[in-house]
A and B are shown apart, each in its own frame.
Chain A
Amino acid sequence: MSVSVEPKSVEPSESGSAPVNSSAVTPVSAGASAQASANGTDELRPHAEDAFAGELASLAAQDDRPRPARWKLSPWAVATYLLGGTLPDGTVITPKYVGPRRIVEVAVTTLATDRALLLLGVPGTAKTWVSEHLAAAVSGDSTLLVQGTAGTPEEAIRYGWNYAQLLANGPSRDALVPSPVMRAMAQGMTARVEELTRIPADVQDTLITILSEKTLPIPELGQEVQAVRGFNLIATANDRDRGVNDLSSALRRRFNTVVLPLPESVEAEVDIVSRRVDQIGRSLDLPAVPDGIDEIRRVVTVFRELRDGVTSDGRTKLKSPSGTLSTAEAISVVTSGLALASHFGDGVLRAGDVAAGILGAVVRDPAADRVIWQEYLEAVVRERDGWKDFYRACREVSA
Chain B
Amino acid sequence: MTATARDGSGAAGGGPLLLGVRHHGPGSARAVRAALDAARPRAVLIEGPPEADALIPLATEVDMRPPVALLAHAVDEPGRSAFWPLAEFSPEWVAIRWALEHDVPARFIDLPATHTLAWGSAATEGEPGGGAGSERGDDADPAGGGAAGADASRRGGGTGVDGDGDGDERGGGPHSGAAARPGAGSQADTDTDTDASAGGGAGARSEASIGAGAGAGAGAGAGAGAEAPAAPGADAAAGSGAQAETGAGSGIDAGTNTNTNTETATATDTNRDADAGVASQSSADGSAMEKDVRIDPLAVLAEAAGYDDPERWWEDVVEHRGVGEGDPFAPFLALEEAMGALREAYGSGGHDRDLVREAYMRLQVRAAQREFGDAVAVVCGAWHVPALRQKTAVAADRALVKGLPKVKADMTWVPWTYRRLSRVSGYGAGIDSPGWYGHLFAAPDRPVERWMTKVAGLLRAEDRIVSPAHVIEAVRLAEALAAMRGRPLPGLGETTDAVRAVMCEGSDVPLALVHDRLVVGDVLGEVPQAAPAVPLQRDLERTQRRLRLKPEALDRELELDLRKETDAGRSRLLHRLRLLGVAWGEPVASRGSTGTFRETWRLRWEPELAVRVAEAGVWGTTVLAAATAKAEAEAVAAQALADVTGLAERCLLAELPEALPVVMQVLADRAALDTDVGHLAQALPALVRSLRYGDVRGTDTGALTGVAAGLAERIFVGLPPACAALDADAAEEMRRHVDAVHGAVGLLGDAPGPDHRDLRGRWHSVLRVLSVRDTVPGVVRGRAVRLLLDDGELGQDEVARLMGLVLSPGTPPGDAAAWIEGFVGGGAGGGMLLVHDERLLGLVDSWLTGVPAEAFTDVLPLLRRTFSAYEPGVRRTLGELVRRGPGERGRVTAAGSGIPGFAADPDPERADAVLPLVRLLLGLDGPSGPGGPGGPGGPGGVKADIDNDLAGVAG
Residues of A within 8 A of B (CB): 75-76, 79, 102, 105-106, 108-110, 112-113, 115, 118, 120, 249, 252-253, 256-259, 309, 315-319, 367-368, 370-371, 374-375, 378-379, 383
How far apart are B640's CB and chain A's nearest CB, in angstroms?
Answer: 16
Contacts of A316 in B (CB 8 A): 668, 672, 710
Contact B755 A383 (CB under 8 A): yes
Tell me which of A106, A112, A120, A318 has the highest count of chain B C-beta atoms within 10 A of its own C-beta: A106
The minimal Cβ–Cβ distance linking A123 to chain B, given in whole angstroms, is 16
Cross-chain contact of A113 among B476, B507, B665, B668 (Cβ < 8 A): B476
Contacts of A105 in B (CB 8 A): 481, 484-485, 497
Q: Which residues of A contact B504 (CB under 8 A)?
A: 257
A252 to B507, CA, bound (A): 13
Which of A115, A370, A378 is B477 in contact with, Cβ under 8 Å? A115
- Least CB distance from B661 to A in Å reads 11
**Contact B506 A120, beta carbon cutoff 8 Å:** yes
Give the complex CA separation of A118 and B669 in angstroms: 34
Known contacts A115-B473, A120-B506, A258-B506, A79 near B713 by CB under 8 Å = no
Q: Name which of B467, B480, B507 has the most chain A CB atoms within 10 A of its CB.
A: B480
27 contacts between A and B (CB under 8 A): A75-B480, A102-B493, A102-B497, A105-B481, A106-B501, A110-B501, A115-B473, A249-B465, A252-B505, A253-B465, A253-B467, A253-B469, A256-B501, A257-B502, A257-B506, A316-B672, A316-B710, A317-B672, A317-B673, A318-B672, A371-B718, A374-B717, A375-B718, A378-B716, A379-B710, A379-B717, A383-B755
Bits for B463-507, please: 1 = Cβ < 8 Å to A, else 0.
Answer: 001010110010011001100110000000100011011101111
In this complex, which of A120, A252, A374 has the most chain B Cβ atoms within 10 angstroms of its Cβ? A374
Chain B, 501-539, CB within 8 A of any chain A CB: 501-502, 504-508
By the criterion CB–CB under 8 Å, are B481 and A319 in contact? no
Q: Which residues of B contact A113 (CB under 8 A)?
A: 473, 476-477, 480
**Residues of chain B within 8 A of A249, CB atoms compared:** 465
A contact residues around B710 at 8 Å (CB) = 316, 379
Is A379 touching B502 in the complex (CB atoms < 8 A)? no
Provided the pairs A113-B476, A383-B755 are in contact, do residues A259 and B672 lie with their beta carbons within 8 angstroms?
A: no
Smallest CB–CB gap between B35 and chain A, Å?
Answer: 36
Please name all residues of chain A whose beta carbon is closer than 8 Å to the beta carbon of B885 when the two chains form the complex. none
Task: Identify which of residues 902-932 in chain B touch chain A, using a CB-to-CB cut-off of 8 Å.
Answer: none
Instruction: Report the separation of the CA atoms of residues A115 and B481 in the bound assembly, to the nearest whole angstrom.
Output: 13
Q: A120-B506, A319-B675 are in contact. Are A79 and B477 (CB under 8 A)?
A: no
Among B493, B497, B501, B716, the one with the most A-chain Cβ atoms within 10 Å of its Cβ is B501
Bound-complex Cα distance A110 to B494 (A):
12
Residue on A with the closest CB to B755?
Answer: A383
Q: Which residue of chain B lies nearest to A247 when distances are taken between CB atoms in the complex?
A: B505
Distance in angstroms between the alpha carbons of A118 and B505 in the assembled complex: 9
Main secondary structure of the interface of A (DSSP, over half): helix
Q: Which of A257, A368, A383 contacts B505 (CB 8 A)?
A: A257
Distance from A368 Cβ to chain B, minimum over Cβ atoms (Å)? 8
Q: How far is the CA of A14 from the CA of B32 in the complex (A)?
A: 63
CA gap between A259 and B473 in the complex, in Å: 18
Binding site for A on B (CB under 8 A): 465, 467, 469-470, 473, 476-477, 480-481, 484-485, 493, 497-498, 500-502, 504-508, 665, 668-669, 672-673, 675, 710, 713-714, 716-718, 721, 755
- Compute how far the CA of A259 lies from the CA of B508 in the bound complex, rounded to whole angstroms: 9
Q: Roughly how many angstroms separate A249 CA and B755 CA in the complex, as a whole number?
A: 51
* Minimum C-beta distance from B472 to chain A (A): 10
Does A109 lie within 8 Å of B506, measured CB to CB? no
Chain B contact residues: over half helix, strand or loop, or mixed? helix
> How far apart are the CA atoms of A318 and B717 in the complex, in Å?
14
Are the CB atoms of B484 and A76 closer together than 8 Å?
yes
CA distance A113 to B755 in the complex (A): 59
Distance to closest chain B CB from A382 (angstroms)? 9
B755 and A375 form a contact (CB under 8 A): no
What chain B residues lie within 8 Å of A120 (beta carbons)? 506
- Do A109 and B714 contact each other (CB < 8 Å), given the known contacts A319-B672, A367-B721? no
Interfacial chain B residues near A112, Cβ < 8 Å: 480, 484
Instruction: Tell me the complex Cα distance, A347–B157, Å.
Output: 74
With the chains together, A374 CA to B139 CA distance in Å? 69
A379 to B710, CA, bound (A): 7
CB-defined contacts of B716 to chain A, threshold 8 Å:
378
**Least CB distance, A218 to chain B, in whole angstroms:** 27
Say how far B715's CB is from chain A's closest CB, in angstroms.
10
A105 to B504, CA, bound (A): 17
Instruction: Please give the distance in Å from B196's CB to the nearest CB on chain A.
Output: 50
Smallest CB separation, B954 vs chain A (Å)? 45
Whole-angstrom CA separation of A370 from B502 in the bound complex: 37
Look across to chain B and name the residue whose beta carbon is closest to the beta carbon of A102.
B497
Residues on the A chain within 8 Å of B721, using CB: 367, 370-371
Chain A, residue nearest B716 (CB):
A378
A residues in contact with B500, CB < 8 Å:
106, 257
- Which residues of chain B come closer than 8 Å to A79, judged between CB atoms? 484
The 5 closest A-B pairs by CB, nearest first: A257-B506, A259-B506, A317-B672, A256-B501, A317-B669
Min distance, Cβ A349 to any Cβ of chain B, angstroms:
28
Contact partner, B713, options A106, A257, A317, A378, Cβ 8 Å: A378
Check A109–B473 contact: CB distance below 8 A.
Answer: no
| Known A-B contacts A108-B484, A109-B477, A375-B718; A258 and B501 likewise in contact (beta carbons under 8 Å) | yes
Give the CA-CA distance A228 to B755 in the complex, in Å.
70
Give the complex CA separation of A316 and B713 in angstroms: 14
CA of A172 to CA of B716, assembled, Å: 72
Nearest A residue to B466, CB-CB: A253
Q: In the complex, how many angstroms separate the beta carbon of A314 from the nearest chain B beta carbon?
A: 10
- Give the residues in chain A near B668, CB-CB below 8 Å: 316-317
**Pair A106/B481 contact, Cβ less than 8 Å:** yes
Q: For the complex, give the distance between the alpha carbons of A102 and B497 in Å.
A: 8
B576 to A: closest C-beta gap in Å: 28
Contact call B714/A375, Cβ cutoff below 8 A: yes
CA–CA, A368 to B677, complex, Å?
Answer: 13
In the complex, the answer to whether A110 meets B672 with C-beta atoms within 8 Å is no
CB distance from B536 to the nearest CB of A (A): 33
